[in-house]
Structure 1
Amino acid sequence: MTEMGTAALLKCLNIELPILQAPMAGVSSPAMAAAVSDAGGLGAIGVGAAGVKGAREMIADIRARTTRPFNVNVFAHRPATPDPAREAAWIDRLRPRFAELGEEPPVRLREIYTSFNVDDAMLAMLLEARPAVVSLHFGLGDPSRLAALRQAGIVVLASVTSLAEARQAVAAGVDAVVAQGYEAGGHRGLFDPHGPDDRLGTVVLTRLLAASIDLPVIAAGGLMDGRGIAAALALGAAAAQLGTAYVGTDESLADDAYRAALFGDAAWHTVMTRAISGRPARCLANRFTARAVGIDDAAIPDYPTAYDLGKALNAAGKAAGDGGYGAQWAGQGAPLARRMSAGALTRALAAELR
């Protein structure tokens, strides 16, 4: 089944290698995506934080670099529910951190990202631009939106963290699912961030989905080299998606502090936290994650409203020469990260897999 699943997925995606680069918003770049795609994998960009104009420009940039397929990722989260009292209390909670950095926090918080679920302009742009692949994170969105993408000839992928979510994705008509294990860096793809989370690891989740649904499964979480990819394929995955492995590449948009943490002691101590953005996300241990220990989830504003304050705190820290307040997303495989170009890494992964 693995061999058939891999062959079918590679044909569907029009790629040569069962290697997908994770679409890390704020970290992946058009140069990274193009390099991975040119090497035979599927490169990706995350446009959930870019807005329609930024997304269009990123897609054009990739197409100026490669003729190969690539993936455009959008955030399909439930829009935030305004809660002025909770948001004001959250600002006051972090006010001392701003004071330590010689800054004042924002007076109020904004919902800084528009969910794809309600972003008609983003949908229209994607239908016009027609990237080969669109992937969804945080949910599935309205079925009519998925149908429109597929009718335009776009392959649709969806991140899932459980069998229940995978079954919803199958019913919605996606072409393949990304099985995101608890080891994965960045935001958990939970459809409901306030619902139960069984925190299934990549091995168990991949095997359960491969045995239970009739769609290709793409394993994600903790995979950093060819041995990890081979293990995922042996479990029944049709391909593997790697994110943290690409954070330290030449084309990554990770700043110097992020790179230093990735290749330092922090790589051995990743933390799952809601405090940075309002949704559970795995981050390299830093000043922000240390300050977040013991905070009740109920005190944190909804995603992405909480992220407005998180980004402001990071900006204040960087202005003061302290890079320890960044959203330095990374999975548990971070100590295996390598310094090289994205194309060279993809070719190395393929060689290791062989």
Structure 2
Amino acid sequence: MRRIAQRLGLRYPLIQAPMAGTSTPALAAAVCEAGGLGSIAIGAVDAKAARTAIADLRGRTARPFNVNAFVHQQAIRDIAIEQAWTGAMTPLFARFGAVPPTTLHEIYCSLNDDPDMLAVLVEAAPAVVSFHFGLPTREAIAALKAQGCLLLASATSLAEAEAAVASGMDAVVAQGFEAGGHRGVFDPGAADEQLGTLELVRILAAKLGVPVIAAGGIMDGADIRAALNAGADAVQLGTAFVGCPESAADEGYRAVLAQAPGTTLTRAISGRPARCLDNAFVGWASTTSTTVPDYPVTYDAGKALIAAARAAGEAGFGAHWAGTGFDRARPIPAADLVALLVQEAGFDA
């Protein structure tokens, strides 16, 4: 019995990952209407934009959906490191007739430091609220649970998962090393165990008393079955949906997705380790020895470079987040993809 699907009334234990930069209300709604759990990310926007996005999604579907928030640590600022970083990036900006920002900013606010965002979530009371980079405060957990929200947290290790359960999470997202986008490590300065998805799922399923959701490298029905057989209660797919027409991926992102030679885990784009398609930005990152500033301060410079490159018609500089199975992505409408995954996994057999 798939506990999460049963509790939420889903037809299938499939969750579309809330990848910031690509998830949209249209994408999430399409997945919801097809029988899975659609998701949107609000970690990269303010409370006003989050309220608008949630209302947009709610206007598209009456089914349960997930809203994901960031709960990262505040950046430790070091002006000398930040200036050295923008200095190292100066030649890159010059290629596009631009200059790096003179001052960097902490562009994203953690939910734990944003009472307005928490108020939006409590007011909206989505069926599911998930967290990345750590855990919310006790007060936030209590407020959301009082609204009936099912709470999920990403974990990359048993220690993180056990902390999530102890805090009151209803389920844990087991984020394997194959996953695209940002690693959900609670402490980016600590050693990363780099556990693969299936290995992590087996460990957590054996140790935890809550449902485990497999995430990372899951692209087709065979992957779904492998994750469920390993002990997962549900699966979460992110990269698989990037190529869907409902996603916010631009044409440059879609082009790189179709032809990239591989992926690399890098801190250079945002300041936190994140798996990205190999592109010109990642290539430069592999050659620099300059110390990377903290997240999300580094992302202020990264976004400025991405914007300058895009304005010059260069698609090779982008936050092209993707997991290791990217080359098996199928650029079809989200509802069709869910139907195909369901068929491949044998859910309707």
Pick one of 339, 342, 347 that aligns with 1:350: 342
| Paired amino acid for 1:214 | G
Kindly indicate whether residue 162 of structure 2 is the aligned counterpart of residue 167 of structure 1: yes
CA distance in 1, matches of 2:22, 2:106: 21
CA distance in 1, matches of 2:331, 2:87: 40
Kindly indicate whether residue 13 of structure 2 is the aligned counterpart of residue 57 of structure 1: no
| Paired amino acid for 1:215 | V
Q: Tell me, what secondary structure is at the counterpart of 2:223?
A: helix
- The residue that corresponds to 1:127 in the other structure is 122
CA distance in 2, matches of 1:146, 1:183: 29
CA distance in 2, matches of 1:11, 1:236: 16
Q: Write out per-residue CA displacement over residues 231-281 of structure 1, whole angstroms, 9 at most, x where no aligned residue.
A: 1000000010000000000101001010001111x1x41000000000000
- The residue that corresponds to 2:99 in the other structure is 104
Identity of aligned residues (%): 56
Shift of 1:14: 2.5
Kindly indicate whether residue 5 of structure 2 is the aligned counterpart of residue 13 of structure 1: no
- The residue that corresponds to 1:29 in the other structure is 24
| Paired amino acid for 1:208 | I
- The residue that corresponds to 1:281 in the other structure is 274
Shift of 1:294: 4.4
CA distance in 1, matches of 2:312, 2:120: 39
Shift of 1:79: 1.1
| Paired amino acid for 1:51 | D
CA distance in 2, matches of 1:191, 1:95: 31
CA distance in 2, matches of 1:255, 1:343: 20
Pick one of 208, 212, 235 that aligns with 1:213: 208
CA distance in 1, matches of 2:52, 2:12: 27
| Paired amino acid for 1:331 | G
CA distance in 2, matches of 1:132, 1:347: 23
| Paired amino acid for 2:90 | R
CA distance in 1, matches of 2:185, 2:136: 13
Shift of 1:295: 3.7
- The residue that corresponds to 2:286 in the other structure is 293
- The residue that corresponds to 2:301 in the other structure is 309
Q: Tell me, what secondary structure is at the counterpart of 1:53?
A: helix
Contact 1:24–1:45 (CA<8 Å) still a contact in 2? yes
Q: How many residues align?
A: 346
| Paired amino acid for 1:20 | I
Pick one of 246, 253, 256 that aligns with 2:241: 246
CA distance in 2, matches of 1:174, 1:14: 19
Q: Write out per-residue CA displacement over residues 273-307 of structure 1, whole angstroms, 9 at most, x where no aligned residue.
A: 000000000000000100011444x7111100000
Kindly indicate whether residue 183 of structure 2 is the aligned counterpart of residue 195 of structure 1: no
Q: Tell me, what secondary structure is at the counterpart of 1:263?
A: helix
Structure 2: any 5+ residue segments left out of the alignment? none
Displacement over 4 Å in runs of 4+: none
**Aligned-residue CA RMSD in angstroms?**
0.9
CA distance in 2, matches of 1:261, 1:115: 30
**TM-score normalized by the length of structure 1:** 0.96
Q: Tell me, what secondary structure is at the counterpart of 2:52?
A: helix
Q: Tell me, what secondary structure is at the counterpart of 2:173?
A: strand
CA distance in 2, matches of 1:79, 1:133: 25
CA distance in 1, matches of 2:131, 2:8: 16
Pick one of 315, 336, 344 that aligns with 2:328: 336
**TM-score normalized by the length of structure 2:** 0.98
Pick closer, same or farther for the CA change 1:295–1:13 going to 2, 3 Å.
Answer: farther
Structure 1: any 5+ residue segments left out of the alignment? none
Contact 1:12–1:155 (CA<8 Å) still a contact in 2? no
